[in-house]
Amino acid sequence: MDLTDAIDVYFQYLRANKGLSEVTISNYAEDLLIFRRSFPEKQDTDDLSSNDIEDFAIEEGKRQHASATIARRISCLYNFYLFLDRRGITRIAAEKGDSPKLGEHLPTVLTYDEVERLLAMPDTSKESGARDKAMLEVMYSSGLRVSELCLLKTNAVSFENRLITIRQGKGNKQRTVPISDAALDYLRRYMDEFRSKNPGRKTSFVFLNLRGQPISRNYFFMQVRKYASEAGIAQTISPHTLRHCFATHLLERGAQIRIVQAMLGHTHLSTTQVYTHVSSERISSAYDDYMEE
């Protein structure tokens, strides 16, 4: 099918079945026009491939657009390709392999207010609370995986340079991520006031239980659930939710997707792109709420 015809059919579907406003339709039309200008060789739906979305994200990143704009354009292209796939016009979604599949369940992401409430729950006058507070702050500030957080070693943290160095995978690859001043302050307080007196203070692991052993993933999982309940957060979350929040909030505040990919330690950009979809949905929802007021 001619690509122009396919886009016209898509917009007819959106108007008839989604009830979208003409303003939203116009934004989508602009996004797809920019995609076509970026790849003028694509004149027919047979010219489309599962690599287009990643290629488009890279091109948009090079142009240094705001992350909200990039997120919306990528989301628009995702949804257009999903429509074509469901109509049997293409088989793009089926070709994507281990890339995030169109229409798959998106990760849970908290609002900024919910994150603040969660981070405020630990009682920092106690060793366990000070440690949990530092763990939450470090995870949200740096986007570490929960296993990386629980096994973080003291020599991996540079207070002077405000950096954390992580080694990952079989090849022992290394990535360095920044950490916020606030997270460093809570981490320093925990280490100076509590960890220095812990039975395991001579070990290399940063976060210790009261017996001096490294904190387990299961324990931290239960603590996050407990703090979420105390904070009045209705969604079911896990420590990994903070990693999702880290990535999505960075994109919403203007970070380029390649930078977020590097900080998360993702090998493939397509893995990171799911957060642009989340961010786009959140922006669209906020826009709709604003327009309804």
DSSP 46-98: GG--TTHHHHHHHHHHHTT--HHHHHHHHHHHHHHHHHHHHTTS--HHHHTTT
153 annotated active-site: no
Query: Shortest CA distance to 73 belongs to which of 27, 8, 13, 23?
Result: 27
Pick the catalytic residue: 81, 190, 227, 275? 275
**pLDDT at position 286:** 42
Determine the 3-state secondary structure of 121 from DSSP: coil
pLDDT score for 118: 97
Sequence ranges of the domains in the chain? 3-106+277-292, 112-236
pLDDT at residue 45 tops 70: yes
Supply the pLDDT for residue 100.
41
d(CA 190, CA 88): 57
Residue 291 clears pLDDT 50, i.e. is over it: no
Q: How many residues does the chain have?
A: 293
244 in active site: no
What pLDDT, on a 0 to 100 scale, did the predictor assign at position 113?
94
pLDDT of residue 290: 40
High-pLDDT (> 90) share of the chain, %: 40
Contact 143, 137 (CB under 8 A): no
Whether 167 is catalytic = no
Mean pLDDT of 147-168: 91
Q: Could you tell me the pLDDT band of residue 190, with boundaries at 50, 70 and 90?
A: very high
Query: Which pLDDT belongs to residue 159?
Result: 94
Tell me the per-residue pLDDT of 94-151, one tens digit each, with 9 for 90 and over.
344 333 443 444 677 899 999 999 999 999 999 999 999 999 999 999 999 888 999 9
266 labelled catalytic: yes
Task: Give domain 112-236's CATH number out of 1.10.443.10, 3.90.550.10, 3.20.140.10, 1.10.1740.10.
Answer: 1.10.443.10
Task: Kindly name the residue from 37, 105, 170, 211 that is annotated as catalytic.
Answer: 170
